[in-house]
Amino acid sequence: MNDIQPEGRDGAGPATMTVRPGFSWAGVLLGMRMVMPFVPGILTFATVYGAAAAAKGLTLGQTLAMSGIVYAGLSQMVVLQIWTENWTLASLGTIAILTAAINARMILMGASLQPWLKHAPVPLNAVNLFLFTDQSWVIGLRHYESGGRDFGVLLGVGLLTWPLWVMAAVPGFLAGAAMGDPARFGLDLVIPIMFAIMLVPLWRGARPAVPWAVGGLVALIVSEIGGGYLYIVAGAVAGGLAGAFLPEKADA
């Protein structure tokens, strides 16, 4: 019955972790540790957001409320671009559609973790999903793929990231846009790198990777023809469909 062995070799699920789905504070600490590589990028992005919000004329209260309650960096930045003093129902509708388009990828990320999350109590899922980000997804996936099942990992990621994301907007808001280019330190590539290297533990041979190629290709095409922020969803759905219609083995 030892088909799933949690292992410590890659730091994604040490041997002390429960294999049965469950929650532990050790898991919370593990999640905090696993999100550390992302922290410089989160702090920088939050500072940039704070500066952009100040430039758009938001109050500090509005700026922090958006970070704390919406808690989705890219959609916050995009909404700032169309922030206005005179709101109409039409501009409100635009905001809702833009926000949904940018964050629709999280629908698919949530679906991909559902085989694990379905074992969690609803209140815990409610909190973990409120705090759910790209970082949560890739760290949760890493943990799950290496045999871990501890919901505390997701909570740990959120508990560390949320206050940092909210508070780091303050210096940006106060100092304005007076800072260096984060790209100089490669911080714009931290998430792409962490996503890409996740392909290695996910790898099960060439055939299961065919849908990935389909997904990547469709996303590339949609983004090239100006599909806005929906290219991730388009690619993910295409990859999922390819997986559904492509039997894993000829004899399966």
Partner 1 sequence: MLEMLRAMPADVVVIAVMALTTYACRISGVVLMSVVTVTPPVERALKALPGSIIMATVLPLVAKAGPGAIITLVLALAVMVWRRNDLLALGAGLAFIVAWRALGL
121 binds partner 1 per the rule CB under 8 A? no
Distance CA 148, CA 18 (A): 7
129 binds partner 1 per the rule CB under 8 A? yes
**């410590």: which residue's tokens?**
8
User: Which residue intervals of the chain are DSSP H helices?
Assistant: 25-35, 39-55, 60-65, 73-81, 89-103, 105-117, 122-130, 134-145, 152-167, 169-175, 190-197, 199-202, 206-224, 231-245
Who's near 169: CB < 8 A, 6+ residues apart?
46, 47, 49, 50, 53, 63, 64, 67
Distance CA 9, CA 211 (A): 29
Q: Which stretch binds partner 1 (CB under 8 A): 16-24, 158-166, 170-178, 202-210?
A: 202-210
Instruction: Give how many residues touch partner 1 by CB under 8 A.
Output: 95
As measured in angstroms, the least distance from the Cβ of 209 to partner 1 is 6
Cβ proximity to partner 1, 172 vs 239, nearer residue: 239
Q: Is 48 helix (H, G, I), strand (E, B) or coil?
A: helix
Residues recorded for the chain:
252
As measured in angstroms, the least distance from the Cβ of 122 to partner 1 is 10
As measured in angstroms, the least distance from the Cβ of 36 to partner 1 is 9
Cβ distance 137 to 31 under 8 Å?
Answer: no
Cβ proximity to partner 1, 69 vs 175, nearer residue: 69
Cβ proximity to partner 1, 29 vs 104, nearer residue: 104
Touching partner 1, residues 59-118 (CB under 8 A): 62, 65-66, 69-72, 75-76, 79, 87, 92, 95-96, 99-100, 103-115, 117-118
Tokens of 140: 């949760």
Q: Which stretch binds partner 1 (CB under 8 A): 15-23, 24-32, 48-56, 135-143?
A: 135-143
Touching partner 1, residues 173-192 (CB under 8 A): 183-186, 188-190, 192
Handedness of CA 212, 106, 94, 50 (dihedral sign): negative
As measured in angstroms, the least distance from the Cβ of 79 to partner 1 is 6
At 73, which amino acid appears?
G
215 binds partner 1 per the rule CB under 8 A? yes
Touching partner 1, residues 11-70 (CB under 8 A): 11-12, 37, 58, 62, 65-66, 69-70
Cβ proximity to partner 1, 104 vs 164, nearer residue: 104
